[in-house]
A and B are shown apart, each in its own frame.
Chain A
Amino acid sequence: MSEYFHSVRLTPERCKGCVNCIKRCPTEAIRIRGGKAKITEARCIDCGECIRRCANRAKTAVTDSLDDLKDYKYNVALPAPSLYSQFSADVPANVVLCALIHLGFDEVFEVALGAEIVSDATVEYLRRPDAKKPAISSACPAVVRLVQVKFPELIDNLIPLEAPVEVAARLVRSTRCRELGLAPEEIGVWFITPCPAKMTAFKQPLGAEKSSVTGAIGISQIYGELLKAVAVVPRDANCQRATARGVGWALSGGETSAAAAANSMVIDEIHNVSDVLEQVALGKIKVDFIEALACSGGCIGGPLTVENRFVAEHRMHQRLAKMRAEDEARGAAPAQYHPDSSLTEYDRTIEPRPIMRLDEDIFKAMYKVEQMEKTLRKLPGLDCGSCGSPNCKALAEDIVQGEAVETDCIFKLRERVRDLAQEMVGLAAKLPPSLEEREDD
């Protein structure tokens, strides 16, 4: 396996080599080369902006499929809280969850339950005197990767807790192994995901050495079958245990309210997150807790969802209002599982992955910075992207790194052509002295 695994992939036949994705990428990870979008793996944070942006549907995320279930004796579905938002609030959560059983899973275990456990652990963490403030939630894997590549100085501010899906997977895997007498490798634990970055997180976990999640299946991939199943599942089915507190994590702000974090800030959409982290790095943001989510609106806006994000948000609000009333009626305790710290513990440090550095050798890097500034001054500054780099600054960087040349810029090329043409005209008018008529004769 290469150094970096990424779930975001290109279908070359569909890529027209347009500039939409390169202009939108928050880490400037994409270049157009040979008429196709090419991702620089070290820079990619799997946020999925390019998937969302591509009008030709050339960008996709690799996920697993229902066929992979047959390799395991016992299969557990871990539906993301955002799954509920893909259905009208009139379809009970129970029915949506039990529809997954219909699709071939042996059990459904809600990630929202993991979210409730993580919420409790977050409350506890924020109380700790050694917690570095502002504490930044590490639940969104694209945000964690953004910190690694763009804000390595903020790594210590990331809350060292596992994400809800990992906690849910640990819990269900260990309990079922014991109860069913199965070996861990005989149990398939599948995240039903709105998020391409989560897929990467399982294949190449940042915290825990090995993820307890077997794989991820995109919501959009099974949505059709799920819709059919919802119609046939009995309405009184019973698969649901999580409360509104955990399910609310699907929306931007849900985590903050679940952790009852008082002096907090909620940011969604990856470019917004980047802007605010810039200010956090300057020490300007004096809050205790930051909930930062890569997708607009939170996980309901994930690239692997089906429903429009605003529609999903509306449905989620309706569902949550209903759920809160129900929770109260059945007297559901907010946390049914007592957080055992081994469930939420992060057992590896998050390494910085700085991408900005131009050269390992500081002297060479300084020389390159100077060259880059000089080159940039010569470029037109239109940031058109026609050269295949997202903007003139990025082209200047690519030029000093030897990955592009100045005439990749169509305006520079035109200038060169014009200069050459003028030179040719000049040359054409020129005669050898033997043919030149002299006036002094």
Chain B
Amino acid sequence: MLDYVLKGGDFDTAGEASSKIKRILQQIGVRSDVIRRIAISSYEAEMNVIIHAYSGVLRASIYPDRTELSVADEGPGIADIDLAMQEGYSTAPDHIREMGFGAGMGLPNMARCSDEFSINSVAGEGMKINILIRHS
């Protein structure tokens, strides 16, 4: 079980948590296409916190047959989850988009890469995403 504390707006360390998770999965010997899905999911989850929230924790629980990712953050949350799940929908401000982030693909990418995906949010407080990816 690995916990990574994330801070909103901290682009210096962005992507570090997901590269560590990826490295461990490679050391364990998980299939490379599965690693890729986990890496993309954790990266998007990590970036989601950095772009939108104030702070959050990304937790990766790695088992022999599956990896579970959970990310909980304190932030604005999502008012309309169905809308947020649509490709291309984003609430990211312009300065974030100018950096090439906030294309509205984060949540749909996470859902696409995972075997099980759930998202809960209270607008104004934060949100929690749970992702499960099987190794075979």
Contacts and interface: CB of A to CB of B under 8 A. Distances in A.
Interface of A: 152-153, 278, 281-284, 352, 354, 356-360, 362-363, 365-366, 368-369, 372
Contacts of B36: 153, 281
Nearest to B135: A362
Pairs of residues from A and B, 7 with the lowest C-beta to C-beta distance, nearest first:
A356-B26, A357-B29, A153-B32, A152-B32, A153-B36, A365-B28, A358-B27
B19 interface: yes
Interface string B26-66: 11111011011001100100000000000000000010100
A323 B32 CA distance: 45
Contact of B35 (A153, A360, A368): A153
Tell which of B23, B28, B40, B43 has the most Cβ of chain A within 10 Å. Answer: B28
Chain B binding surface, main DSSP class: helix
Contacts of B62: 366
Contacts of A281: 36, 39
Interface string B1-30: 000000000000001001100011011111
B43 A356 contact: no
Contacts of A283: 40, 109
Contacts of A362: 28-30, 64
Contact of B28 (A278, A352, A369): A369
Contacts of A369: 24, 27-28
Tell which of B18, B23, B36 has the most Cβ of chain A within 10 Å. Answer: B36
A360 B29 contact: yes
11 contacts: A153-B32, A278-B19, A281-B39, A282-B39, A282-B43, A354-B29, A354-B32, A357-B26, A358-B29, A365-B27, A372-B27
Nearest to A400: B27
Contact of B27 (A153, A356, A360, A363): A356
A153 B33 CA distance: 6
B14 to A, nearest CB: 11
B33 A359 contact: no
A284 B47 CA distance: 12
Given A153-B35, A357-B26, A357-B28, 18 more contacts: A153-B33, A278-B19, A281-B36, A281-B39, A282-B40, A283-B40, A284-B100, A352-B32, A357-B27, A358-B27, A358-B28, A362-B29, A362-B30, A365-B28, A366-B62, A368-B27, A369-B24, A372-B27
B29 A359 contact: yes
A366 B64 contact: yes
Nearest to B36: A153
A283 B35 CA distance: 13
Interface string B98-136: 001000000001000000000000000000000000000
Tell which of A352, A356, A359, A362 has the most Cβ of chain B within 10 Å. Answer: A356
B12 to A, nearest CB: 16
Contacts of B109: 283
Contacts of A282: 15, 18, 39-40, 43
Nearest to B103: A286
A378 to B, nearest CB: 18
A152 B43 CA distance: 19
A372 B64 CA distance: 17
Given A281-B39, A365-B28, A365-B29, A356 B64 contact: no
B64 A363 contact: yes
Contacts of B19: 278
A278 to B, nearest CB: 7
Contact of A366 (B28, B35, B43): B28
A134 to B, nearest CB: 14
A174 to B, nearest CB: 37
A26 to B, nearest CB: 15
A284 B109 CA distance: 11
Contacts of B39: 281-282
Contacts of B40: 282-283
A404 B57 CA distance: 35
Contacts of A352: 32
Tell which of A152, A281, A282, A352 has the most Cβ of chain B within 10 Å. Answer: A282
Nearest to A151: B32
A281 B113 CA distance: 13
Contacts of B43: 282
A362 B30 CA distance: 8
A356 B23 contact: yes
Nearest to A372: B27
A182 B29 CA distance: 50
A354 B36 CA distance: 14
A142 B64 CA distance: 33
A358 B64 CA distance: 14
Contacts of B18: 282
Nearest to B113: A283
Nearest to B2: A373
A48 to B, nearest CB: 25
A369 B100 CA distance: 34
